[in-house]
């Protein structure tokens, strides 16, 4: 993709460039625009190397804070390049190159292996690979047998620098990508949550469908309501009757005997015979707890417990 774009070699003596490429251009800087160092360092990743880059250029650059750094791994070394982006932008503008039209920026050092012969820079200078470092030398010192080679897009390296903050953009790419990633992450979370609600509804509808398949007579709301009303009434009343019988059965213990029980749809009445006052009290307490009516039968050891349903 990047290799499809024209690659313009940027040097101080270059002519005014009037680019017309609709897809933008790539540029390759000559050593006039950067400072290079190659170091063999025990670091594995580029971000680690980039972190120590400013310290490597201390003393070499006038102001390290104004520079940006490019780091790339070569076969045996780390390639460190320091460049002043504002100075480069200013130069590009002065040569008629719109910053917004620059897709990627490369450094001649990155394509050192491709500079097998000198590349002429205007009429006076030439860019050559001098013992493994790209150097600008006067054309007059070139040997006669050194035939200059043309410069084209085939010199485009894989890794380049995007001109951040170019034109009127107020955000740098790193910030933009981070923010976009966070927003996208939240978007994914919301989509997943929304999808979960959909699945819950679908599961309930499926369960409902299966139940109605098993009980087709309940498909009508009216029938369901009617059956529910009928059985709820029965269920409530019959559960109450059984609860009363259960409560009365708990009143049968040593010293207390059930002598009679009458229960119908509306009321109940049970008679207990007790042996002494303590049993009578216990019976009364149990009956009160169940909110039953209590009546004592005079001159007897009987207690009547009753209530309505």
Partner 1 sequence: MTQQLKAYKNEILIGLAFLLLLVSLIYKQGKVSATNSEGGGATSSLQELKEVIALKKVWGDKKITKKVDKIKDIVAPSKVTWSKKGKKLTASFKNMSAQELNRLIVKIMNLAVEIQKLEVQKLDTSYQVEFKCKW
Q: Which is nearer to partner 1, 15 or 209 (CB)?
A: 209
Whether the CB-CB separation of 110 and 29 falls below 8 Å is answered with no
- From 34-42, 62-70, 115-123, 221-229, give the range in contact with partner 1 by CB under 8 A: 221-229
Q: Which of residues 83-112 bind partner 1 (CB under 8 A)?
A: 98, 100-101, 103
Residue with tokens 């309505």: 308
Of 17, 68, 73, 224, the one binding partner 1 (CB under 8 A) is 224
- From 3-11, 115-123, 204-212, 295-303, give the range in contact with partner 1 by CB under 8 A: 204-212
Q: Which is nearer to partner 1, 1 or 140 (CB)?
A: 1
Q: Least distance in Å: CB of 268 to partner 1? A: 8
Q: Which is nearer to partner 1, 77 or 224 (CB)?
A: 224
Q: Are strands 25-29 and 7-10 parallel, antiparallel or unpaired?
A: parallel
Q: By three-state DSSP, how is residue 34 classified?
A: strand
Rounded Cα gap, residues 143 and 135, in angstroms = 15
Residue with tokens 């009980």: 215
Q: Least distance in Å: CB of 285 to partner 1? A: 23
Whether the CB-CB separation of 88 and 97 falls below 8 Å is answered with no
Is residue 197 within the footprint of partner 1 (CB under 8 A)? yes
Main-chain phi, psi angles of 308, to 5 degrees: -105, 165
Q: Least distance in Å: CB of 228 to partner 1? A: 5
Q: By three-state DSSP, how is residue 43 classified?
A: coil
Q: Least distance in Å: CB of 135 to partner 1? A: 34
252: which residues sit within 8 A by CB, 6+ positions away?
258, 272
Q: Which is nearer to partner 1, 114 or 166 (CB)?
A: 166
- Computed from CA positions of residues 279, 281, 286, 292, in that sequence, does the dihedral angle turn out positive or negative? positive
Main-chain phi, psi angles of 150, to 5 degrees: -75, 155
Q: Supply 238's token pair.
A: 């019959």
Of 141, 180, 220, 300, the one binding partner 1 (CB under 8 A) is 180
Whether the CB-CB separation of 24 and 121 falls below 8 Å is answered with no
Rounded Cα gap, residues 14 and 123, in angstroms = 10
Is residue 179 within the footprint of partner 1 (CB under 8 A)? yes
Is residue 66 within the footprint of partner 1 (CB under 8 A)? no
Is residue 23 within the footprint of partner 1 (CB under 8 A)? yes
Residues that bind partner 1 (CB under 8 A): 22-24, 98, 100-101, 103, 166-173, 175-177, 179-181, 183-184, 186-191, 193-195, 197-198, 200-201, 204-205, 207-208, 211-212, 215, 218, 224, 227-228, 231-232, 234-235, 237-238, 241-242, 245-246, 249, 257-265
């Amino acid at each position: 993709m990047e290799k499809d774009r024209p690659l313009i070699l940027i040097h101080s003596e270059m002519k005014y460039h009037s680019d017309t490429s609709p897809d933008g251009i790539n540029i390759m800087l000559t050593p006039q625009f950067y400072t290079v160092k190659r170091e063999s360092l025990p670091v594995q990743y580029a971000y680690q190397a980039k972190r120590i880059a400013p310290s490597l250029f201390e003393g070499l650059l006038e102001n390290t804070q104004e520079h940006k750094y490019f780091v790339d791994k070569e076969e045996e070394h780390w390639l460190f390049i320091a460049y002043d982006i504002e100075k480069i932008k200013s130069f590009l503008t002065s040569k008629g190159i719109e910053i917004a039209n620059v897709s990627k920026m490369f450094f001649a050092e990155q394509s050192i292996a491709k500079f097998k012969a000198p590349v002429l820079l205007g009429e006076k200078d030439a860019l050559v690979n001098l013992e493994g470092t790209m150097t600008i030398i006067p054309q007059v010192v070139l040997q006669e047998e050194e035939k200059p080679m043309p410069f084209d897009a085939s010199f485009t390296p894989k890794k380049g620098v995007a001109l951040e903050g170019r034109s009127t953009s107020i955000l740098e790419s790193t910030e933009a990508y981070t923010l976009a990633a966070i927003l996208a992450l939240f978007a994914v979370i919301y989509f997943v949550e929304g999808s979960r609600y959909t699945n819950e509804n679908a599961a309930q509808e499926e369960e409902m469908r299966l139940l109605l398949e098993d009980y087709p007579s309940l498909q009508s709301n009216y029938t369901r309501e009617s059956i529910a009303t009928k059985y709820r009434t029965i269920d409530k009343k019959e559960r109450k009757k059984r609860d009363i019988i259960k409560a009365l059965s708990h009143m049968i213990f040593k010293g207390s005997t059930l002598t009679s029980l009458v229960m119908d749809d509306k009321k109940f009445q049970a008679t207990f015979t007790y042996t002494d006052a303590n049993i009578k009290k216990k019976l009364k307490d149990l009956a009160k707890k169940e909110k039953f009516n209590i009546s004592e039968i005079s001159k007897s050891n009987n207690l009547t417990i009753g209530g309505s349903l």
